[in-house]
Structure 1
Amino acid sequence: MSYTRSVLVTGGTTGLGFQCALDIARKHPEYQVVISSRNDPNNAAISINTTLKQNNVTFLPLDLSDLAKVRSFAEVWETNNFPPIQALVLNAALQFPNEIHTNAAGIESTFAVSHVGHALLFHLLYAHLADKARIVITSSGTHDPAQKSGLPDAVYKTAEDLAHPPPEMIKIDGRQRYSSSKLANVMWGYALDRRFQSIRRQGKKNLTVVSMDPGLMPGTGLAREYNAFLRFLWVKIMPKILPVLRVLIGSSNIHSQKESGENLSRLAISPDVEGESGTYFEGNKKIPSSVDSYDEEKQEDFWGWTLKHVATNEEELRTFELVN
């Protein structure tokens, strides 16, 4: 079959990403849906194809923590000659609750995967985006201290602090690194939207970007670094008592992976949100993001830091800026 468009879902082999990819593949059998993660031990692509009795889902390995491997992934994308990208779903994330972890380049791992790897991936695949392509960023309500999520409040001073935490930030609760990375996601999305607006004014591609909080989703792989008891509660018990959790926590923003996956899919492909850009969603509702996320000076500082750390030369730096 000749596919008309492609969709890439990072972290697409399990949990939220898997459910998002499943929904997109079901609704658009004419799309080539590519799911990526470091590995695919459960043969997620085969599982989706078998469930749907289709063959439009493909797995490609991607390690977002390693920028060299992100570049290799982009080369493989070129080699496969996939059709233009209709939706780029930047979903993959991880969380280390205790001691700090860094990647091979010395960048804190939560930030490296949630933002730095995704940013480079976007820039390398930018030329393959279709007109009216959508960028969808999986953020989290934990980025907003006003939501009182139970995680330590997100903090953004500089991107450099997130990438290479100074001594006073080395021993903080690792979950704060996660919430702060999700604040960074939203800020980067707003900076990207300003550039998309400029591109549209120039009569070039009509591109959009939104961020989404999928809510609390027990059972996902996000807790894989927790101890055995907490992993057991997260994977085996909590998914079965969602109504109880909503009452105990006092929030309706607690969902199954399927519910949140379909909300993420909606932002990627549904006609009813076509044209939405520079906005933040909690599930299927558009809401304000955190107060800190709207600081344009910090957004631009973050954008500039990102370009300098993902571009390898002056030519790439100019290209990645997107707007002359």
Structure 2
Amino acid sequence: MSQFTKSFLVTGGTGGLGLHASREIAQRYPNAAVVIASRKDKDGAAALINEQLGQSNVRFMPLNLGDFKDIRTFVETWADQNLPPISALLLNAAVQFAEGGPVYTTDGIEATFGIGHVGHALLFHLLQPYLADECRIVITASGVHDPEQTKGMPLPHYTTAEEVAHPTGDLPKQPGRQRYSTTKLCNVLWTYALGRRLEQIPHKKWTVVAMDPGLMPGTGLARDAGPVLRFLWLKVLPHIIPVLRVLISPNVHLPKDSGTNLAWVAVDESQRTTSAVYYEGKRQIKSSVDSYNEAWQEDLWSWTVNAVAAADDERRHFGLVGGS
């Protein structure tokens, strides 16, 4: 029998936003298992949090969201851990390839979209049997999905999910940052499509929301940028946040502060019943006009289910209509 009372799972939890959110949740729930999942834990994030808190409830599990086979192996490993049901699932991991042409996942999907959306979708679908009857799903989105909020980022470009996954024509020439803003739009589209379906599942109190943590200089998001941009992102911009709030947006924060906000959206009792809504930090706001396009939501939903399901029975199960 597990020593823990509940479980929480955070993808991309070994650094930046995810690390701080994981620490906040672990501190709030010392009797819960907090699992941080990422490709590598080179800095020993789980051990660090446990040491800082004087606890032993945080653990690391390897997960490559760019490989369907690895995601399935992760879920099989989860099933063997004898952990309590998952009370909150934080789909937080993301990548941005600022320079060069498209990069592709093991399964041949453009990697920004493949890791930031498709891999998370497969993870959610496979984890359904391990979710608590009352479960919170939080998807880390971004204000860059909204042309009215974006400054200095290329606008998202969505036509069909197939074109995002396998860009053709001139689309491979898109800047990497545009692929990122498009993926963040997909995060919000999928939140609303999933929210409608969760309402139809009997005997479950599953909610899903998207959350914009704001611009967070100092995180690992610029790890694939050039040396100059990476230096500015990691060493300069975190020290001039008040200036950035004037020049760019008030929604600029240290990763620690945004991590606290992400944890609050995920686990605070005052927020557990909200679903299919969008947060900027702790505030519920309207997302972009395009994010409410139901035709795009349904195109993305259908394409994603067909892309990640291995067989017809999975395709029916992943569809969620009529039950889980």
Does the alignment pair 1:29 with 2:30? yes
Q: What is residue 283 of structure 1 aligned with on the other side?
A: 281
Alignment of 1:81-92 (within 5 A): 81-92=82-93
Q: What is residue 74 of structure 1 aligned with on the other side?
A: 75
Q: CA deviation at 1:131?
A: 1.6
Confirm or deny: 8 A CA contact 2:154 2:181 kept in the other structure. yes
Counterpart CA distance in 1 for 2:272 and 2:300 is 27
Work out which of the residue numbers 236, 250, 265 in structure 2 matches 1:267: 265
Q: What is residue 97 of structure 1 aligned with on the other side?
A: 98
SS at match of 1:132: strand
Q: What is residue 233 of structure 2 aligned with on the other side?
A: 234
Q: What is residue 197 of structure 1 aligned with on the other side?
A: 199
Consecutive aligned runs of 4 or more in structure 1 exceeding 2 Å deviation: none
SS at match of 2:170: helix
| CA gap 1:54/1:104 in 2 versus in 1, 3 angstroms | same
Q: What is residue 303 of structure 1 aligned with on the other side?
A: 301
Q: CA deviation at 1:104?
A: 2.1
Counterpart CA distance in 1 for 2:66 and 2:11 is 12
Q: CA deviation at 1:106?
A: 1.5
Q: What is residue 245 of structure 1 aligned with on the other side?
A: 244
Confirm or deny: 8 A CA contact 1:67 1:117 kept in the other structure. yes
Confirm or deny: 8 A CA contact 1:141 1:149 kept in the other structure. no
Q: CA deviation at 1:194?
A: 0.3
Counterpart CA distance in 1 for 2:151 and 2:319 is 34
Counterpart CA distance in 1 for 2:32 and 2:151 is 36
Q: Give TM-score scaled by structure 2 length.
A: 0.97
Q: What is residue 13 of structure 2 aligned with on the other side?
A: 12
Counterpart CA distance in 2 for 1:315 and 1:271 is 35
Does the alignment pair 1:118 with 2:120? yes
Identity score, percent: 54
Confirm or deny: 8 A CA contact 1:208 1:278 kept in the other structure. yes
Q: CA deviation at 1:247?
A: 1.7
Confirm or deny: 8 A CA contact 1:102 1:108 kept in the other structure. yes
Does the alignment pair 1:159 with 2:157? no
Q: What is residue 56 of structure 1 aligned with on the other side?
A: 57
Q: CA deviation at 1:150?
A: 1.5
Unaligned runs of 5+ in 2: none
Post-superposition Cα deviations, 1:72-130, rounded to whole Å, max 9, x if no partner, equal 00000001111100000000000011221111222101001001100000000011111
Post-superposition Cα deviations, 1:145-173, rounded to whole Å, max 9, x if no partner, equal 11123110011110001100012101111
* Paired residue total: 320
Q: What is residue 217 of structure 1 aligned with on the other side?
A: 216
Does the alignment pair 1:41 with 2:53? no
Q: CA deviation at 1:298?
A: 1.2
Counterpart CA distance in 2 for 1:85 and 1:146 is 35
- 2:209 alignment partner AA: V
Q: CA deviation at 1:50?
A: 0.1
Confirm or deny: 8 A CA contact 2:66 2:107 kept in the other structure. no
